[in-house]
Each structure stands twice: as structure tokens, then as C-alpha cells.
A and B are shown apart, each in its own frame.
Chain A
């Protein structure tokens, strides 16, 4: 797999039984890339290991007063230089390709998983956790994937160099062969403590970032009412704690760095001492002594990968575990196979006894907003919060829970209390799967979005005042609550489903506009089944029938005016007045 071929057409079916298995699965899928990276890495490290040979040959050549020998040493150095340049570049290219392809694969898997789980996801796992996988964990997994082949190449090179030395100069080689593993392993015992301190530091940094972002998020409150100094003081304290923790962590790394100077230095002393004696005895040449010295000083290049791979592994393991956990979530399918018909007809909820006749505009009044939300969710079938033993809502007699999810969602669209505007242009926002019978312009007009279009047209600096091509910022934050709500409503109207369920679609819309929106919905949905859960009289007044659901049961049915006149409970819910005012009202009318 090359980077330019990304994204994967199909990122595959990962082994998510554990973090380690997930890492292995990723590795198995790029074995070729790992091998390539290993081979180029060998060229690189062997090239570096060969450099001292050139130096030794040159020194020996000038001692022997051989111009030809010097030239040969020069040619060898040049060749090694070319090998290093090619090996370094290609190793980097292949290793980075491994990391990018692994990261892209995990990102694609996450995208598919989140799309599959939809509303269930955040009930199973914290939203932050999923995002943390995508922002932090993917990188750590990628790092491990990248460093793995580099480490393998470095370790192989060290073995080869030690073996070569042992064969070529057994006594000196033995010293090096014993010394190098000690060097490789010396810092490892310190790593857990160093990483623990690094973790402490990260935790403190996370806390400081949280305080800072919390302060910024509430900044308008602070600027409006005061308390900046209090929060600055708090943040300064947290920030200084981060600094102290970081320095504490740095002490450990500084110690490791010192050990990495001291131990190779000691090995070098032994090698020089012993080598000088051998040279004095004429058992090795001066050039060879220089070669061995140089080779020992260069071992720190491959040795560093030992530390890096240990770190990468310890960082990536919890990341892989978390990724595996998120990717292992599934939707429990309760679908009965073979039901592929498109249901239609009356919508009936056996639990509350709520009936929404086909083609009519039914309003539902439900004193408790939480209960209204749950009822709306159930009306669409496959509710996010599955209550055991509760009978499914029926559409034309067909149980929605038993239809495939896609079919149920196609038949009934439930717009919850807090619909999210996905970022993109207005055109993209309204470009949703739909019946195709309602145009964007019709829907926007029905939802009274004229002022939103004006605002977007004004904000469109580079799109020539075309509101449809203007970008809506994430979650529509640049718009007011009422504007967002009406755009979401327009999107639902464009979809034009068989049954449209709206939960408080105009709660943030002012009374002037609400009356017009209600009329718009009624006009556009003529002949289609519409259920609106609401408490505003402006909406209720336009409904064909109003159902009062009290304590989980449909207790009264009629028009708004009928119920207002006849039902005390209904009046209490819809006339949003305090008891005192209600008293005043009744006195006035009396």
C-alpha cells in the first residue's frame, strides 16, 4: 500500500479482542511494508557501521605512506556515503508509509464504527474517549508501527557488527560484544520511572489545559461579571505545577542521558586501553585501532532505537487497547430478516396508547420534557435506550423495531430536541437522503429561514453573497439558537419522510416567528403524517388533533381549543404561567 492509494476502499475487519491483537492485526496487514523498511534500515545502519572502516583504512594508508590506499579509503567512504543516503531516505519513506497507512486505516475504521453506532455510541462510551482515539492514540500506534522496523534493522546491525568484530579480532570483539548489550539494556530499568513521571506531567498538563479551556469557554461570563483575577491565579498555580512536574520528569531523562554518555565512554576506555596494547604488540594495526574506536562511538545510533521502541511500545499499548475497545462496540441487531416492505399507515404506540392517524398533523402534549424525549425516540423504532419488554411502535401494523434500522429510519424521521447542524455549506446541510419531493427553497420558506439566509449572505465574503454556498460553522455556533432550530427543521422537512416526528421544534423560536413556522409545517406536510411534541399554544392550535399524554398514558384527545376548555391538566401544561398568574387570569375572566 502506497500513501497515494489511500484511503482504503475497505479498511478491513480488525481483530479487536485485545489491544495487542489489534496491533498484530495492523502489523499483519503491512508485512510487506515492514520487510521493505527493515531491509532499507539494514543498508542504512550497515553503512554507518562501515564508516569507521574508511577512517581506519585512511589512517593506515598514510602510516604506510600509500597514496593508493588513501584513494581507496576515499572511494570506500564515498560508496558508504551513498549507501547511507539511499538507506536513510528509503528507510524513512517506507517506515513513514507504514505509519501513515496504519493511521489512515484506524481512522477509517473509527469513521465506519461511529457511523454504524450512531446514537448508541455515546451511550456505550464517552464521546471524549472516541475522539481521544482519533486524535492521540492513532499517532501513538503509528509511532510504534514506524519504529518497529527501524529497531529490527538496528538490532540486526548490532549483532552483525559484534559478530564481525569477534571473528575479525576475537579478543577486542569479545569486549565489544559483551559491552554493547549492557549499553542497550542499561537505560531500560529507568524507563518505567521516567515514563511514569512523564505521565504525571501529562496529567497535570491536561488539568491545566482543562482549566484554561474552561476559563476561555466561560470568558463571556467572566468579562460580564468579573472574577478574571481569581481564575488567572488558579491557572497560574496549575501552570506552575505542570512546570515543576516537567522538570521532575526532565531530571529522570537527564539521568538517562548521562548514563548514555558514561557507559559507552567506559567501554571506549577499555577498548582503547586494550587496543593500544594489541597495537603495541603488533597484533592489530593502528588503522584497525582507529576503526574499532570509531565503531564503538557510532553504536549509539542503533542503540537509541532500543530506548525508542520500548517507549513506543509502552505508549502505544494503552492506545491500542482503547482503540480496540471502541472498535469492538456493536449494535445488537434485533431485526427480523425478510421484512423488506415499506410500511405506511397509522402510527400507533401500544405503550402510551398514542395514535397518530396517517396523513394528519398530530400534536402531543406531555408535561414532562424528559418523557417527551423518550416517547419521541420510541416513535421512530429501534430506540437508543432499549427498555426490556416494551412493545414496539407500529406503523400501519408493522413493528418498527423489527424492520431493518435503515427501513425504520426511512419510514419515520424523529427530530430530537437538540438536532445538530453538521458543518458545511447550507447546500450540503440540506443535501440529505430525501423523497425528493420537497425542495430546499420550499423547506427553508416553511421553516421561516429568511433571516438566516440574510445572515449567511452577509457572512459570505468569498462566495458572492450566495447563502447556499456559505459555510455554517461547527454546530452552527455563529447562528442564534432560534436560527439553528429553524435550519434543523428545514432539513427535516426536505427529507419528507412518511412520518415526521418533531420534538419541541420551535422551543427557541420567538412567538412572532413560531406562529409562521407552525403554519409552514402544516402547509408543507399536508396529507403526510406529522407528530409534534410541543407545549406552545401557537403550534397546538394548528394541529388536526392534540393528544395529552399524562404519566405515560394518552389520556385525552381533541383539538387545542376543545382540550383547553375541557381538561384542567392540559390547561396547566400549555398555559405556561405561574400559578399566581393563573389565579389572576381566572379572576379576570370571572
Chain B
């Protein structure tokens, strides 16, 4: 982007992507297809809006016409101006204009709100349909910023920009048509000014969208540094990082304001262009019209009407430019929202059904990145009802293997099967009937305790819910709640302890009732006392199920039927606790130092 005039954009671009592993952003074609679909869905409302708007604009032109005819008569020296008639017409037109302007505003808002509601609901529908593997890898942070920041940014565009642009275009078009009807030569005045406006707008809109994107990202970065300092208050204080945080904030302020300065420069070019366009149109109408009147080719009333109509052009042009800008900025957010549609929903093959409960990994290789495998030729067989513990150092691939066995990731080579059927070929909804991954993420949703449980089995009765809570030892505190299952929990509601949250997660498992569980450090973040209590709840949930536990602490491993030691993406030891201790390998050494 080279700036021929004046100022170059700042070098540092806060909107430039910085991390690779996020969700895709929609291509121009996807965005266009989505917008077309959205417009088609609301075409009736659009037609109504444009019709209502046309009536309002036409009514607004009554004033200039009436004044024009008045001026004509006065210029002719007429003694009777037919004032009562003119006033009556004016009043009727004013009434119509008043009613229809209100309708335009209202219809515009209704249309905008409906499109916005469609957009945010569509997005969430897509988001909840994402394959678990994509979520696991991309995390939910990016999605979260899309549903908050981008929806917010789009709100204005949908609510105002789209209807206002439609209104502005119709408005300007009708005024120019009015000018042409009044006296065709006056429409030439618009042509005189058009090149200036077109050149100015082309220059501006070539630079503006990306500059506004960077400006917004720069501003968000200022807030992000502050949010982080607040969040990390203890760490900042302990490490004496206060001065550095201030310096970082100041640097972000500088980066942000340098973009503000650049966009201000862009507007400093656009604004005079627009202002000069308006006065050029007006002056051209006056001069062309004036000469025509002097030559006797046109009446003075026509000139008056034309000049007043030209003066009225300021508003629609302002509306168009004001909101065109917003739409350009919104396009970026829209691309981020519809980008989610580009991810294959990963429907799976509904015909693939497991036959039995046997979990097998067969010569499995897997890597997160091309050419870098995390698991190398792993094979194992977990018989129904067995407890398998995966132990090994961090980064050895335990969690990855667990996720493959839970059907979240598909192996790069080899097969992971449940009852002979490949997990990766089943739809996520089928997989979770059989296998569940239990991790540290014990999210309590905003809503009632009942909703928090019902998600695992829609249509469960309260009796069943209480039974599930009872099974995990949670009915005690739950019964003590004022509103029982109706108690609002989650952020903003009753705050539950991490242990209670974990119990809810376990109660969900009881309700969902999958026969195989993959536990990934399910209780490791809890304090020891709570963990001990929870382990009892957990033990009841595990009864009768196949369990793959990614063991963090050795006592978990000790209880397992089979222990697999994972090192460097390979299974290096496999056997029962006693076997491995007897084999005197890595596991045995660790066990001795643990047990003292």
C-alpha cells in the first residue's frame, strides 16, 4: 500500500495474524454467498423498506416544488399566490413525510435486527456443530472472540448500515431524478461534481477498510494489555513487573494512536472532497440554471426548486458515506463469522456402527503438524471393563493417545476402532454414546442446575437427575440449595466450588452413560482433600466401564489393571503394576521414589 499523497500507514500492523492455529476466515466468495442468502431471506422486508422510503423522499420534495411555483408567480408579479391551496398541499405532504419517515426508521430497524438475529444464531448453530477435534486443537478462545467482538462490531452494520445504505441510495437516486424532472439540464450539475467524488472515494476506500481494521485491533490491544495486567495482578506484583507493564501499555497506546492518526489523515482527504462535491453541485445548479433562466430556456421557479433539491443531496450522500465505511469494517468481522462455515462439519458415516466394546489402536501414527509425528506406531488393545493407565513424562504423547482413543482426533495412519468400527468415521454424536473424555475442564454453564444436567440426557426426569447427583455424592449439597434443581449456577449465578463443578461433570457422565471413559487428569487441579472425596464419586462412576486413565499421580496407576508407560510417542512398558515393578524398568524406579 503506497501512499501517493501525504502519509504512509504505520509500519506495525496490530491486525496482522500472529498465531497459526486458529479457525479459518471466510473467503470473499463465502461472504458473498452468505450475504446473498441473508438478503434473499429478507427480500420482502427490503422491498417494503424501499417503498416506504420512496414515499417519504417524494413527499419531502413537495416543499421545494411549492416554493418554486411561488417564486415563479412572485417573479411574474402575480397578485394572487393561491397560498391556501399551496399550504394545504404542503401540510398534506408534511404529514405523509412525517408518517413515512417514522416508518422508514422503524422498518429499517426491524429489518436490521432480524438480519442480526439470524446472523448470530446462524453462527452459534455452526459453532456447536464443529468437530470436537477442531475445537480441541484451535481452543475456544478464537471462537469466543468471534461471538463477542465480531458480533458486536457487526451489530451496528446490520442494525444500521445495511438499511441506511439502502435508504441513502434510494434517497439520492430520487433526488437526482427529481432534479432531472424539474429541469433536465440541472441534472448535468451532478455530472460536473461526480468525477471529484468518485476519484476521492476510490482513493479513500482503497485504504480505509484495512486501516480501520488495524485501528480497531490496535485499540483492542491497548485494552488487552490492561486486562492482562489486571488478571495477572499477583504475578505482576511478585515479579516487580509494574514498570514494564506501564511501558508496554504506553507502547500499545502509541501503536494504536499512530493508526488513529493515519485514519484521520484518510478522512482529512475524504472530507474536503465531499464538502467540495456538495458545493460544486449547488454552484453548478445555480450557474447552469441561472444562465438558462437568463437565456429564457427555464423558469426561475425551476431554478429555485433545483437549488433546494441540490441542497437536500447533502443528507443521502452523508448517509451513504457514513455507513459504507461501517460496512467495510464490518466485512472483516463477517468474514470471521462465516469462516466457521468453511470448516467441514465432519458429519461422519452414520452407517458405521460399533459391534462390541473392544477398543483397539492398530499401528497408529499421529502428528499435529505435517511431518512431525507425536505418536509412532502405537498398538494396544483395551478389553471391555479393563482399567488402563497411561503414565509417562510430560509431552510423551499420553494426552494425544487418550484423545485418539476417545475419537477426538483421527490417526494419520493406522486405525483406532471401537467394536471393530473406526471411531474417526463415526459422527461425533455416535461416538459420544459410547466414549467420553473427562478432563480438567469442568465447565458449569450459565443456567439452572437442571439445564446443566439435562444436556447429558435430554428429557431425563427430575428423579433421574437426583439419582445421578446421588450417584456422585452430590445430592447432599444440591438438596440444600434453595431452589433445588432450579438454582441458577454458572457465572453470575451461585458460585460452585471446583469440586462441586467436577461432581456435576461426573453426574453428566452417569446420565450420558457411555461404556468407555478416557480420563485426562480429571482431578489433578483440585486440592488433595477435595480430590480424595471426588475420587470416591469417580470410582462409582467408573464401575463396570472400560477406563483409560491418563495418570498423573502414581497412585492412580497403581489401581489400574494394565499400565502403559508412554515415552517419546511409543509404548515402552506394558503390564500390571506388579509385573512392571517386577520388571524393574522406568516405572519401578519411579514407584520406589514415590512410595519411599
Q: Do B528 and A369 have beta carbons less than 8 Å apart?
A: yes
Find out whether the CB atom of B21 lies under 8 angstroms from the CB atom of A478.
Answer: yes
Q: Are B151 and A114 in contact (CB under 8 A)?
A: no
User: Within 8 Å CB of B19, what residues of A?
Assistant: 471, 473, 478
Cβ distance B443 to chain A, nearest Cβ, rounded Å: 4
Q: Are B230 and A226 in contact (CB under 8 A)?
A: no
CB-based contact A115/B243 at 8 Å: yes
CB–CB A220/B135 < 8 A? yes
**What A residues does B272 contact at CB under 8 A?**
85-86, 88-89
Stretch from A161-169, A352-360, A412-420 at the B interface: A412-420
Map CB proximity to A onto B297-341 as digits: 1 under 8 Å, 0 otherwise: 000100110011001100000000000000000000000000000
Determine whether A3 belongs to the interface, using a CB cutoff of 8 Å to chain B: yes
Knowing A3-B261, A511-B552, the reply to whether A422 touches B532 (Cβ < 8 A) is: no
A577 within 8 A of B: yes
Taking CB atoms, residues of chain B closer than 8 Å to A420 are: 228, 231-232, 234-235
Q: Pick the most buried of B109, B124, B491, B536: most chain A CB atoms within 10 A of its CB.
A: B124
Asked if A130 CB lies within 8 Å of chain B CBs, one says: yes
- Cβ contact within 8 Å between A482 and B249: no
Interface 9-mer from B171-179, B412-420, B432-440: B432-440
B355-390 CB mask vs A (1 if < 8 Å, else 0) is: 000000000000011001000000000000000000
- Tell me, yes or no, whether A268 is within 8 Å of chain B by CB: yes
Q: Are B253 and A6 in contact (CB under 8 A)?
A: yes
Per the bound structure, the CA–CA distance linking A62 and B532 in Å amounts to 98
The answer to whether B159 touches A246 (Cβ under 8 A) is yes
**Smallest Cβ distance from B141 to chain A, in angstroms?**
6
In the complex, the answer to whether A115 meets B242 with C-beta atoms within 8 Å is yes
Residues on A with C-beta less than 8 A from B527 are 369-370
Cβ-defined contact, B233 with A511, below 8 A: no
Q: How far is the CA of A236 from the CA of B113 in the complex (A)?
A: 13
Bound-state CA distance A320–B195 (Å) is: 45
Say yes or no: is A229 at the interface (Cβ < 8 Å to chain B): yes
CB pair B121–A100 under 8 Å, yes or no, is: no
Chain B residues with Cβ below 8 Å from A524 are: none
Residue B44 interfacial (CB < 8 Å):
no
- Inter-chain contact A564/B121, CB cutoff 8 Å: no
B399, CB-defined interface residue at 8 Å: yes
Interface hub of A210, A239, A251 (most chain B Cβ within 10 A) = A239
Task: Judge if B496 is at the interface, Cβ distance under 8 Å.
Answer: no
**Residues of the A chain whose Cβ atoms lie less than 8 Å from the Cβ of B63:** 265, 268, 293, 297
Residues 56-80 of A contacting B (Cβ, < 8 Å): 58-59, 61-63, 65, 67, 70, 73-74, 77-78, 80
When distances are taken between beta carbons in the complex, the residues of chain A under 8 Å from B240 are 406, 409-410, 432-433
Contact partners of A239 in chain B: CB under 8 A: 117, 120-121
B461 within 8 A of A: no
Q: Do B311 and A220 have beta carbons less than 8 Å apart?
A: no
Contact of A242 among B117, B311, B553 (CB under 8 A): B117
CB contact between B228 and one of A279, A422, A535 (< 8 Å): that residue? A422
A273 CB-CB contact with B under 8 Å: yes
Interfacial residues of chain A within 96-139, with CB under 8 A of chain B in the complex:
96-97, 100, 104, 107-108, 110-112, 114-122, 127, 130-131, 134-135
A315 at the A/B interface (Cβ < 8 Å)?
Answer: no
Are B239 and A257 within 8 A (Cβ)?
no
Q: Which residue of B lies closest to A300 (CB)?
A: B315
Q: Are A70 and B392 in contact (CB under 8 A)?
A: no
Q: Which A residues are in CB contact (< 8 Å) with B432?
A: 223-226
Does B394 have its Cβ within 8 Å of any Cβ on chain A? yes
Contact indicator A481/B524 (Cβ below 8 Å)? yes
> Which chain A residue shows the least CB distance to B75?
A63
**How far is B345's CA from A230's CA once the two chains are assembled, in angstroms?**
19
In Å, the complex CA distance between A575 and B152 comes to 51
CB distance A108 to B253 under 8 Å?
A: yes
What residues of chain A lie closer than 8 Å to B152, measured between beta carbons? Answer: 209
Q: A118-B236, A243-B114, A478-B139 are in contact. Are A70 and B593 (CB under 8 A)?
A: no
Number of residue pairs A-B, CB distance < 8 angstroms? 507
Instruction: Please encode chain A, from 237 to 252, with 1 for each CB lying within 8 Å of some chain B CB and 0 for all others.
Output: 0011011001100110
- Provide the residues of chain B in CB contact with A121, threshold 8 Å: 230, 233
Q: Which residues of A contact B307 (CB under 8 A)?
A: 55, 58-59, 290, 294
- Assess whether B494 is interfacial by the CB under 8 Å rule: no
In the complex, identify which listed stretch (A22-30, A437-445, A455-463) lies at the interface while the others stay far away: A455-463
Identify which of residues 252-296 in chain B touch chain A, using a CB-to-CB cut-off of 8 Å.
Answer: 253-254, 256-258, 260-261, 264, 267-268, 271-272, 275-276, 278-280, 282-283, 286-287, 289-291, 293-294
A7 and B235 form a contact (CB under 8 A): no
Whether B233 and A114, one on each chain, are in contact in the complex, defined by CB atoms closer than 8 angstroms, is: yes
Min CB distance B6 to A, Å, is: 13
Q: Do the beta carbons of A258 and B101 come within 8 Å of each other? A: yes
B234 / chain A contacts, CB cutoff of 8 Å: 118-119, 384, 416, 419-420
Q: Cβ of A115 and Cβ of B253 under 8 Å apart?
A: no
B300 touches A116 (CB 8 A): no
Of all chain B residues, the one with the shortest Cβ separation from A259 is B98
Q: Is B482 an interface residue (CB 8 A)?
A: no
Given A54-B286, A65-B294, A420-B232, are A85 and B132 also a contact pair (CB < 8 Å)? no
- Please encode chain B, from 50 to 92, with 1 for each CB lying within 8 Å of some chain A CB and 0 for all others: 0000000000100100110011001100010101000100110
A458 & B372 in contact (Cβ 8 Å cutoff):
yes
B509 within 8 A of A: yes
Residues on B with C-beta less than 8 A from A537 are: 593-596
B135 with A254: CB separation less than 8 A: no
User: Contact: A269 with B94, CB < 8 Å?
Assistant: yes
Contact A293 B67 (CB under 8 A): yes
When A78-B279, A93-B264, A225-B436 are in contact, do A70 and B287 touch as well, CB less than 8 Å?
A: yes
A523 at the interface (CB under 8 A from B): no
- What is the interface size of chain B, counting residues whose CB is below 8 A from a CB of the partner? 171
In whole angstroms, what is the CA distance A92 to B129 when docked?
46
Pairwise interchain contact A422-B235, C-beta atoms closer than 8 A = yes
A269 touches B524 (CB 8 A): no
Q: Give the chain A neighbours of B253 by CB distance below 8 A.
A: 6-7, 104, 107-108
A218 at interface by CB-CB < 8 Å: yes
* A219-B130, A242-B117, A280-B74 known; A511-B554 Cβ under 8 A: yes
* Chain B minimum-CB-distance residue to A256: B105
Q: How far, in Å, is B578 (CB) from chain A's closest CB?
A: 12
Within the complex, what minimum Cβ distance (angstroms) separates A140 from chain B? 14
User: Could you tell me if A216 and B290 are in contact, using CB atoms closer than 8 angstroms?
Assistant: no
Is B300 a contact of A258 with CB atoms below 8 Å?
Answer: no
- Asked whether A131 lies within 8 Å of B227 as measured between CB atoms, the reply is yes
Assembled-state Cα–Cα distance A63/B307 (Å)? 15
Q: Which residues of B contact A208 (CB under 8 A)?
A: 120
Q: How far is the CB of A477 from chain B (nearest CB, A)?
A: 6
Interface string of A253-287 (1 = CB under 8 A from B): 11101100110011011001100110110000010
Chain A hits for B525, CB < 8 A? 481, 507-508
Given contacts A104-B253, A119-B233, contact A512 B226 (CB under 8 A): no
B207 within 8 A of A: no
Residue contact B283 to A294, C-beta cutoff 8 Å: no
Residues of A within 8 A of B590 (CB): 511-512, 515
Q: Which B residues from 414 to 434 make CB contacts under 8 A with A?
A: 428-429, 432
Contact status A286-B71, CB under 8 Å: yes
A88 touches B290 (CB 8 A): no
The complex places the Cα of A215 from the Cα of B224 at a distance, in Å, of 22
CB of B271 within 8 A of CB of A88, answer yes
B298 to chain A, nearest CB (A): 9
B66: nearest chain-A partner, CB-CB: A272
Which residues of chain A are within 8 angstroms of B391 by Cβ–Cβ distance? 510-512
A contact residues around B250 at 8 Å (CB): 7, 108, 111
B128 within 8 A of A: yes
Q: Which of B87, B239, B293 is the most central at the interface, judged by chain A CB atoms within 10 Å of its CB?
A: B239
Choose one: A3, A235, A419; the contact of B235 (CB below 8 Å).
A419
Q: List 13 A-B contacts (CB under 8 A).
A: A54-B282, A77-B279, A104-B256, A114-B229, A115-B236, A121-B230, A208-B120, A209-B147, A219-B127, A227-B454, A433-B241, A480-B394, A481-B524
**8 interchain residue pairs of minimum CB distance:** A227-B455, A81-B279, A451-B395, A118-B237, A250-B109, A111-B249, A218-B443, A420-B232
